[in-house]
Chains A and B, each alone.
Chain A
Amino acid sequence: MSVQAETTGGIGVVTLGLSALDVTTAKEFKREMGPLLKAHRRMVLDFGQVTFVDSSGLGAILSCLRELNNSGGDLKLCNVLPPVRALFEMVRLHRIVDILATREDALASWR
């Protein structure tokens, strides 16, 4: 399993158990996220263990965001490490997805 999911206050919190979300792991990530996205309208992705994200990983994140948006839900990211944050800022991902410092911050942002 590349992800570990839990539900807190109706919000699905997914911890990525990967060091890299890239071309080698993105497909599996998307497959495992499919049922979770159907079960939750609001989700938090915890990137605390991810040190590298490439274009495939970025596409997988956007895929999740699109599916939640289509269902009226929302996606927030947290615990993003500096190297990954550099990518997100370069592609201006932070403009369309909230990136919070901690999981608690992400959950609190919906209260």
Chain B
Amino acid sequence: MGHSGGMTDAGFALGPSQTETLFPFHLIWDDDLRITQVGPSLQRLFPDLLAGAHLLEHFRIDRPHGISDAASLRAHPHRVFILEHTQSKVVLRGEVVPVGPPPGLAFLGSPWLRDPSDLAKLGLRLGDFAGHDATVDMLQLLQTTATALKDTQRLADRLDERSRELRQANEALRASETRYRTLLEQSPLGILTMALDGDVTFANRRLVEALGGRPEDVLGQAWRRLFPLGLADAALAELLRVGTGQSSLNIELPLRRPDGSTGWVSLTGAVLADAQGNPEGFLVIAEDITSRKDAEAAMARARDLELQVASRIQETLLHGRAPKTLPGLTVGEFIQSHTGVNGDFHDYYVHTPGVIDVLLGDAMGKGLPAALLGAATKARCARVVGRLIFEGRGRLPEPRDIVARLQRSLGPQLVAMESFVTMVYLRLDLTEGTITWVDCGHPGLLRLRRDSGEVELLKGDNAPLGFGASQSFSQEVTRFFPGEVLVVFSDGLTEQRNSVGEMFGTARLAAVVQAAADAPPDAMAMGIRDALSRFGDVSFGDDVSCLVLSANPLRLTEPHCIAETFPASPSSLVGIRRFVRRFLATAVPGDAPAEWEETLLLAVHEVATNVLNHGLEPGTAGTTLNVAVGSTPEGVQVLITYEGRPFTPPETVTLPDLAEFPDHGFGLGLIAGATDGADYGTDAEGRRTITLTKRFPRPASSAGPHP
């Protein structure tokens, strides 16, 4: 392909390379419209555009119209020419100027682009255009415009989105308000709002119903009028404090409805604040708790009833009666029941006047269940003791065997109930001077020694009843001499706390016992109680049981023993003999001959018969005989006490000579023959007393006194 020869009507001429540089999309054809030269960028755009081809084979001249030859082309100088590439439809825009020689025409222009993206579509770059070509500026302008338009569009889109969001938010807000209103109205809770001055600004249906009035009775009314029982002021004061952020309102108020009925509401309050956070009113949620309050009141009544029952159990079943008339033992007690009633229990089993078992325990828990468990344990223990004595044919079982049987009997039930019992079972053998005890999780015993004056803690190491499946228990033994004191107590005593949380403790108890060493057991027990009260001005959080057992020196002249009262009637004679026989069953040494016991029973019978026949004033209905029996290592004493005439027995009493066949007058002789002595007297209260003394028979091989 040749190159253009330059402008023919001007002194300015361009070389081929300059033409290619300045007009890279130029096209030159001759007067036959045969293409003679193609600019480099145009050649790259249309590779099939070859020299010699006819212009109109490749292009349609869109403007000016009616161009068909060179002459008509020349007739439109300085006109904008628009050529459309017939195959690709790419449009070129420019001017046609004459060139030559040889004469020809040159199209100086470039592709007519409307959008920068057209460059990529045609596979062109901005470098394909001449620097002066306005197309480049236009494309850059278009690019800038397009970018601006994009930004504008993006902004517009964002505005649209924000607008849509706002619209949705408004719709949601309206829906929320609708739901809120519905919620407020349909809420099962009463809701009201009120201004700072306490006037109600809104009240939902439930609140109006709860107050038992009409909406107009509530709306616009002062808060305090809703609660006429006078507590509203306190609630409002609380609400105002809520407003200062000092507290939250949570209060239960009684109310009286217009129909006169009463009820209860629970109020929960919150502050309503304006946009600046300043309180502008209150929101109060009210719940009708009348049913709950009624249920609570019913439960409280039931609880009171349960406590009454438990207290009755405690009074009647849990605590055994102390043996007051044992010759070898004096007992003092301090029993302080917790107001809620706990499970402390204790009991005494007097086997003989010289051998007494003591049971003291604490059933886990509080209230009626603990009281029942304690009572059941105590009852079961008594049954176990009796059963073992029966099985042993009168032989006294060891404390450890009693506790083991009790565990076998009661343990599985305790495990099933997930409960347990702490206890101590001890035996005072005043004739042997020993204490034998089984400690099952108990706080221990305190022994006040007479020799040193010291107080020692006696402990054991068995688990409480109901703990595991232990079937064997260990027992401890120590000496217990006349004049010594044993203090048996529940953990409620030593674990009592004062106002600063300090426990009373075993050491403090020991000090009290030591300080009261010379006091009688009753006084010592009261001293312990007083010390506990002084220790802390607090109510007792647990049951407190404290038994003070003092061993007395045994003397046969002391006529005190276990006792029973019988009607002064011949029909009581069998019962009196049975009572004494039951006592003798465990009091009389096993090697004593049977007639020893039988003759004593005969003597008791004769004394009672004499009293019935000769000692009572005529017409004294309702008179009774009190029979007391006790034993010592030396023998047995029986004391019969009555109100009536005294006997004046002859100084010497002998059995009548049976060979003379007397039919009466045997009584005094039998009494004398059956006993070692019968003393007739009067006690401090003026009652007549007859005391029978009968010493145990001495073994034939023993030269000394009975041990």
**Shortest beta-carbon distance from A29 to chain B in Å:** 12
Map CB proximity to B onto A62-95 as digits: 1 under 8 Å, 0 otherwise: 1101100100000000000011001101111101
Asked if A55 and B658 make an inter-chain contact with CB atoms under 8 angstroms apart, the answer reads: no
Query: Interface of chain A, helix or strand or loop or mixed?
Result: helix
A58 to B599, CA, bound (A): 14
Binds B, one of A3-11, A17-25, A35-43, A102-110: A17-25
Residues of chain B within 8 A of A63, CB atoms compared: 661, 663
A54 contacts chain B at the CB level, 8 A cutoff: yes
Q: Of the candidates B570, B598, B669, B674, which one forms a contact with A24 in the assembled complex, judged by CB atoms under 8 Å apart?
A: B570
**Shortest beta-carbon distance from B546 to chain A in Å:** 45
A56 contacts chain B at the CB level, 8 A cutoff: yes
A73 to B183, CA, bound (A): 118
Residues of chain A within 8 A of B661, CB atoms compared: 62-63, 65-66, 69
Asked if B606 and A91 make an inter-chain contact with CB atoms under 8 angstroms apart, the answer reads: no
Asked if B663 and A87 make an inter-chain contact with CB atoms under 8 angstroms apart, the answer reads: no
A60 to B602, CA, bound (A): 16
The number of residues on chain A lying at the interface, defined by a beta carbon within 8 Å of a beta carbon of chain B, is 27
Asked if A82 and B573 make an inter-chain contact with CB atoms under 8 angstroms apart, the answer reads: no
Q: A55-B667, A66-B663, A95-B658 are in contact. Are A86 and B573 (CB under 8 A)?
A: no
Asked if B606 and A59 make an inter-chain contact with CB atoms under 8 angstroms apart, the answer reads: no
B574 contacts chain A at the CB level, 8 A cutoff: yes
**Shortest beta-carbon distance from A55 to chain B in Å:** 3
Asked if A96 and B658 make an inter-chain contact with CB atoms under 8 angstroms apart, the answer reads: yes
**Shortest beta-carbon distance from B266 to chain A in Å:** 76
Asked if B599 and A22 make an inter-chain contact with CB atoms under 8 angstroms apart, the answer reads: no
Q: Of the candidates A54, A59, A82, which one forms a contact with B602 in the assembled complex, judged by CB atoms under 8 Å apart?
A: A54
Q: A54-B602, A69-B661 are in contact. Are A59 and B595 (CB under 8 A)?
A: no
Asked if B664 and A82 make an inter-chain contact with CB atoms under 8 angstroms apart, the answer reads: no
Map CB proximity to A onto B583-605 as digits: 1 under 8 Å, 0 otherwise: 00000000000110011011001
A-B pair count, CB < 8 Å, reads 79
Asked if A59 and B662 make an inter-chain contact with CB atoms under 8 angstroms apart, the answer reads: yes
Asked if B658 and A86 make an inter-chain contact with CB atoms under 8 angstroms apart, the answer reads: no
Asked if B662 and A20 make an inter-chain contact with CB atoms under 8 angstroms apart, the answer reads: no
Find the A residue at minimum CB distance from B613. Answer: A23
Find the B residue at minimum CB distance from A69. Answer: B661
A91 to B666, CA, bound (A): 9
B596-622 with Cβ < 8 A to chain A: 598-599, 601-602, 605-606, 609, 612-613
Query: Which of B598, B663, B664 has the most chain A CB atoms closer than 10 A to its own CB?
Result: B663
A68 to B577, CA, bound (A): 33
Asked if A90 and B666 make an inter-chain contact with CB atoms under 8 angstroms apart, the answer reads: no
Asked if B659 and A96 make an inter-chain contact with CB atoms under 8 angstroms apart, the answer reads: yes
B148 contacts chain A at the CB level, 8 A cutoff: no
Q: Of the candidates A23, A58, A91, which one forms a contact with B573 in the assembled complex, judged by CB atoms under 8 Å apart?
A: A23
Q: A23-B570, A24-B570, A56-B609 are in contact. Are A93 and B664 (CB under 8 A)?
A: no
A87 to B597, CA, bound (A): 11
A106 to B667, CA, bound (A): 29
A96 to B22, CA, bound (A): 180
Find the B residue at minimum CB distance from A55. Answer: B666
Q: Of the candidates A54, A59, A83, A89, which one forms a contact with B663 in the assembled complex, judged by CB atoms under 8 Å apart?
A: A59
A26 to B655, CA, bound (A): 20
**Shortest beta-carbon distance from A99 to chain B in Å:** 13
Top-3 shortest CB links A-B: A86-B595, A55-B666, A66-B661
Chain B interface residues toward A at CB < 8 A: 570-571, 573-574, 577, 594-595, 598-599, 601-602, 605-606, 609, 612-613, 655, 658-659, 661-664, 666-667, 669-670, 673-674
Known: A54-B602, A82-B595. 14 other contacts (CB 8 A): A23-B573, A23-B612, A23-B613, A24-B570, A24-B573, A55-B670, A58-B666, A62-B662, A69-B661, A86-B594, A86-B595, A86-B598, A87-B602, A91-B655
